[in-house]
Structure 1
């Protein structure tokens, strides 16, 4: 198993399949984003080698991210190949949902188990403002297709940004009355080119909860208030679904972190909010063996930092969110 020096078992790898996206969300990437040449990004066989190495050192959970993972060429075949690797117990995806209407069923048939869909508002005008050109109906159609394909339980991820959608948390929370989903509200994180903007745009979990309770009544903790991954779960009276709150800024959950991230250009990143990375792509293209790759990854994981340092105003600036996979 892969342990870090703080005694945490690191078993969950988030794999960015591309740095590209078909939207330009204000908290994720600049509107005029410059992407890396495709030759500098991980190819399918390189991703599969890293997944094999990861399973052999104890990873069992894998999440495909981006950019937007569904725009990667041949993504269904790649999902099928990853799902077939021994030791892959959980295979999920975070997506903006735009292409799920046609991809949900083939992805499910290929072995994808469930999806998290990014949806920050139910207001079409605000959605377009946040994404810069997205159409809300495309995402809603995609969520419906994911439900029909069995990519469940569905989780909706709403990044709450002051001046954009802080008032929309109430309508998002109402969805839990009708649907058995986990609707997750995420504090915006200061990052890369949007760090200064993000610092001023953070809406804390406490404010989100206050808005929801003022409109819909008290929230009851689920699981005794224990973390479900990175979210604390609550339920409204009579609701089918639950609400999750991810408090990266105001209430960090670093002590229970079990994650590592693989960037689209082949860097192993041990903390989302720390810039230190270990290059895997260059050694792979230089002919590193599977055993050597496992040793490289194990050594990197051992040095995983205890946590981010946002409380000390240490802001990651080397990349924007879309290059890492969130």
Structure 2
């Protein structure tokens, strides 16, 4: 298994297959997606190559991210290929719910094990104010279909924003009383171009955790392949509540995940300065070189990010690497 100099072991890979996104979420891409040249994303063969290499290193969970991964027409083939890779036990997907109600069954049939769906409000007007679209009805229909499908785990991601959905927190928590989902509140993170927005909208996730504990919620132990969320359960609720708190103490101590960008760069941290290009090695006959290069790179993984100092590396927006 891959291990860094701090002794952290890695079993989880976040694989971006596109940085293209069709939404204008005000916390990520308020001006929409822009690109100066035609993007050259990883091909299916390259994806199979790099996933196989990480599987040989003990990675057993792959999360497909974007941008918005559903914008790739070959997403079903990508899910199938990853699912069939020896050593991969779990394939997950993060989506903004674009055409979710039309596509969820196909993804389930391809072997998708888990899905995270971005939903920042249960109020159509608030949703439009945050993401720039009025598609809450379609999103809720897709979530309902996901819960009825073969997909084992359905999670909802909600970015808490002080000037927007924070006042609806109680309403969101009540949603899981009858709905068997895991609702995770994500602490807003500062990026290169959102400093003023961050100051106006940041809500401490530690505050949410304390609020849950004061209301009878109990923390659940994290699984070995779990992401960074702290998750809570309550005896009177069918669903769970979680939160991701990148500004909390020792957040990076339990890091178990690595990231591959849509153009084949390995990123050791979401908020690192740069990525390491693996693409030239994602070809038949260079498997050993790829394996050795990945092991070498991991020795450069830093102890922690520097978000507390207002340093977000080269991350200009969260669509770059799927958050």
Paired residues of 2:82 and 2:88 also in contact (CA < 8 A): yes
User: How far apart are residue 22 of structure 1 and its match?
Assistant: 2.1
Indicate the residue corresponding to 2:122 in structure 1. Answer: 122
- Identify the residue that residue 6 of structure 1 maps to in structure 2: 6
Q: Out of 256, 259, 271, which is 1:261 matched to?
A: 259
The offset of 1:39, in angstroms, is: 4.7
In structure 1, distance between residues paired with 2:46 and 2:28: 26
CA deviation map 1:36-77 (0-9, x unaligned): 645522111111110011101111110001111111112111
Structure 2 residue aligned with 1:243: 241
What is the Cα-based RMSD across aligned positions, in Å?
2.2
Which structure shows the bigger proportion of residues in helix conformation?
A: 1
Equivalent residue, structure 2, for 1:300 = 297
Aligned position for 1:147: 147
| 8 Å CA contact 1:12, 1:59 repeated in 2 | yes
Q: CA deviation at 1:313?
A: 2.4
> Which residue is 2:201 aligned to?
201
- Correspondence for 1:105: 105
CA deviations on 1:56-114 (whole Å, 9 max, x unpaired) are 11111100011111111121111111111101111111111222211111111111111
Change (3 A) 1:261 1:12: same
Residues in 1 aligned to 2:322 and 2:17: alpha-carbon distance in whole angstroms = 8
Distance 1:32 1:179, change over 3 A: closer
Q: Within the alignment, does 1:315 sit opposite 2:315 as a pair?
A: no
Counterpart of 2:288 (choices 279, 288, 291) is 291
Could you give the per-residue CA deviations for residues 235-290 of structure 1, whole angstroms, max 9, x where no partner exists?
345111111011112345210101001111211111112223111124447x8701
- CA distance in structure 1 between the partners assigned to 2:15 and 2:178 by the alignment: 32
- Please tell me whether residue 221 in structure 1 is matched to residue 218 in structure 2: yes
Distance 2:154 2:299 in 1: 33
* TM-score calculated relative to the size of structure 2: 0.92
Instruction: Could you tell me which runs of 5 or more consecutive residues in structure 1 were left unpaired when the two chains were aligned.
Output: none
Name the CA distance, whole Å, in 2 between partners of 1:199 and 1:315.
14
Aligned residues: 322
Counterpart-to-counterpart distance in 2, 1:160 and 1:82: 32
8 Å CA contact 2:187, 2:205 repeated in 1: yes
| Stretch moving more, 198-207 or 49-58 | 198-207
- Does structure 1 conserve the Cα–Cα contact (< 8 Å) formed by 2:271 and 2:315? no
- 1:271 is aligned to 2:269: yes
Q: 1:87 to 1:318 in 2, by over 3 A?
A: same
Between stretches 159-168 and 39-48, larger displacement belongs to: 39-48
- The two structures have a TM-score, normalised by structure 1, of 0.91
- The unaligned stretches of length 5 or more in structure 2 are none
